[in-house]
Chain A
């Protein structure tokens, strides 16, 4: 068999094994590639951080994703919650998918175990699962009265009686709605909540959807976005270098890699836990896989052009 043919007809299983190694090895032996932050992620961080220490401001996290996209989106869930708990930012969580509600439970309990002083219904409130068909009524109703629209939290307690709701009335008390989504891309929130009540919206999405948000970012309909594992890795880093070290956000500092590296050296033990570095470790594997796929594309094309030249010669 000629070289061109051999390249063209590589057994799929060989490709799969190489890919498997490219994914697994960087996860086992950490390569420690640097993380460079981008504007949409920095904007979201800064926006959320502006609610730090306020009793009358909160963020609302809408978990519109299921376990299929957890590897990409779960680190975002953890990073945002950790940011909020670390900086004393009130959080509401809601999901219009049954599986999303279970993910909220998982994420809250995972982060909460490192913050024993954080109390349910005082520092955060989980609205739990609400049927998809109620998304529109709840979304519009929250513009007038959150407690009336949502009614109860995940434990069935009336919202109006909860301490966290004392200074929370409507979207005026929501700094930003962050939809972490594997499919819907926050458009409901933009179409109804933002257009009608002016609430700021941001999204966390899988990498394949990340390109879709750019028109909304340009118009300001999304104030920020986290695109795939890279977005999660960037957010993890911002939480580490600013929130965990008690630093105020500065774009200049976030982009100064020598300053970033210095901050890493002073990280508290809590920030060094594996669960809070998942996205950055995953990005090592993703970087290798991207390079591998590029090599695959180049090799495949070399085979294609050699084959084409052979065919021309034989004609």
Chain B
């Protein structure tokens, strides 16, 4: 029963949703409204679960003095302080919450992302080699697109932005659409497998 009940729920709800999409009538739209109300109630519990999980993991790390446990103190302190100032003074502009956001979160986040530029530059120098025909095509396309996306490309010749647009609109588009179709078909197949109980890994544990 521990297995059968969740599998039945998934099958029934899955079929109802498929029916809702393909059979549009009042009954199916009422069903969706009813379900959406449930989702609004259930959804916020995910936040509670997430906070509980975060506290549990980091508390245990500190307790066991696991490697890099010091960072766990920072994480938990940030969680408690940010939540507290948010509850006490609110989260509008001019509050301590926004001060923390602007002076910690924004520069830290931007710094982490900016580091990518250095890695890309280093990788471009050290690893981007024309080792094969495919790599050479990639390299030439990359150079054209990099020039075409900045004003220097246009200043050299209008052909560079034009070729850039062609690369993005034709080969890039074809490849992306192929990938998207593959992903879509894969998702449909996986969804069917879940609905029919063939794929059960989401239940956790052994069969």
Where the two chains meet, the residues of A that have a C-beta atom closer than 8 Å to any C-beta of B are: 10, 12, 15-16, 19, 23, 33-36, 38, 66-71, 99, 101-102, 105-106, 108-109, 131-134, 136-137, 140-141, 154-155, 207, 211-212, 214-215, 218, 228, 230, 283, 286-287, 289-294, 296-297, 299-301, 304
Q: Does chain A have a CB within 8 A of B110?
A: yes
Q: In the complex, what residue of chain B is closest to A292 when comparing beta carbons? A: B121
Q: Are A137 and B40 in contact (CB under 8 A)?
A: yes
Q: Which residues of A contact B93 (CB under 8 A)?
A: 105-106, 108-109
Q: Does chain A have a CB within 8 A of B80?
A: no
User: Given A133-B46, A214-B169, A214-B172, do A101 and B130 touch, yes or no (CB 8 Å)?
Assistant: no
Q: Mark B157-181, 1 if CB is under 8 A from A, else 0.
A: 0000100010011001100110010
Q: Which of A12, A69, A289 contacts B117 (CB 8 A)?
A: A289
Q: Which residues of B contact A34 (CB under 8 A)?
A: 151, 154-155
Q: Does chain A have a CB within 8 A of B65?
A: no
Q: How far is the CA of A299 from the CA of B169 in the complex (A)?
A: 30
Q: Are B43 and A134 in contact (CB under 8 A)?
A: yes
Q: Which of A15, A99, A101, A287 contacts B121 (CB 8 A)?
A: A15
Q: Which residues of B contact A101 (CB under 8 A)?
A: 91
Interface majority SS on B: helix, strand, loop or mixed?
A: helix
A-B residue pair count with CB separations less than 8 angstroms: 156
User: Given A34-B154, A301-B130, do A140 and B32 touch, yes or no (CB 8 Å)?
Assistant: yes
A and B contact pairs by CB, cutoff 8 A, 28 listed: A19-B121, A23-B117, A33-B155, A35-B151, A36-B161, A38-B165, A102-B91, A102-B101, A106-B101, A133-B44, A137-B36, A137-B37, A155-B92, A211-B168, A212-B176, A228-B149, A230-B149, A287-B151, A290-B146, A292-B121, A293-B120, A294-B147, A297-B124, A297-B125, A297-B139, A300-B124, A300-B129, A301-B139
Q: Which of B36, B102, B147, B177 contacts A290 (CB 8 A)?
A: B147
Q: How far is the CB of B183 from chain A (nearest CB, A)?
A: 11
Q: Are B128 and A300 in contact (CB under 8 A)?
A: yes
Q: Which residues of B contact A134 (CB under 8 A)?
A: 39-40, 43-44
Q: How far is the CB of A210 from chain B (nearest CB, A)?
A: 8
Q: Does chain A have a CB within 8 A of B152?
A: yes
Q: Which residues of A contact B204 (CB under 8 A)?
A: none
Q: In the complex, what residue of chain A is closest to B173 when comparing beta carbons? A: A214
Q: Which of B43, B105, B118, B180 contacts A133 (CB 8 A)?
A: B43
Q: Which residues of B contact A214 (CB under 8 A)?
A: 168-169, 172-173, 176
Q: How far is the CA of A283 from the CA of B122 in the complex (A)?
A: 21
Q: In the complex, what residue of chain A is closest to B108 when comparing beta carbons? A: A67
Known: A291-B152, A296-B125, A297-B128. 14 other contacts (CB 8 A): A33-B150, A34-B151, A34-B154, A68-B109, A131-B43, A155-B92, A212-B176, A214-B172, A214-B176, A215-B173, A283-B151, A287-B151, A287-B152, A289-B121
Q: Are B101 and A99 in contact (CB under 8 A)?
A: yes
Q: Which residues of B contact A291 (CB under 8 A)?
A: 147, 150, 152
8 A Cβ contacts from B1-51 to A: 32, 36-37, 39-40, 42-44, 46-47
Q: Which residues of B contact A35 (CB under 8 A)?
A: 151
Q: In the complex, what residue of chain A is closest to B144 when comparing beta carbons? A: A294
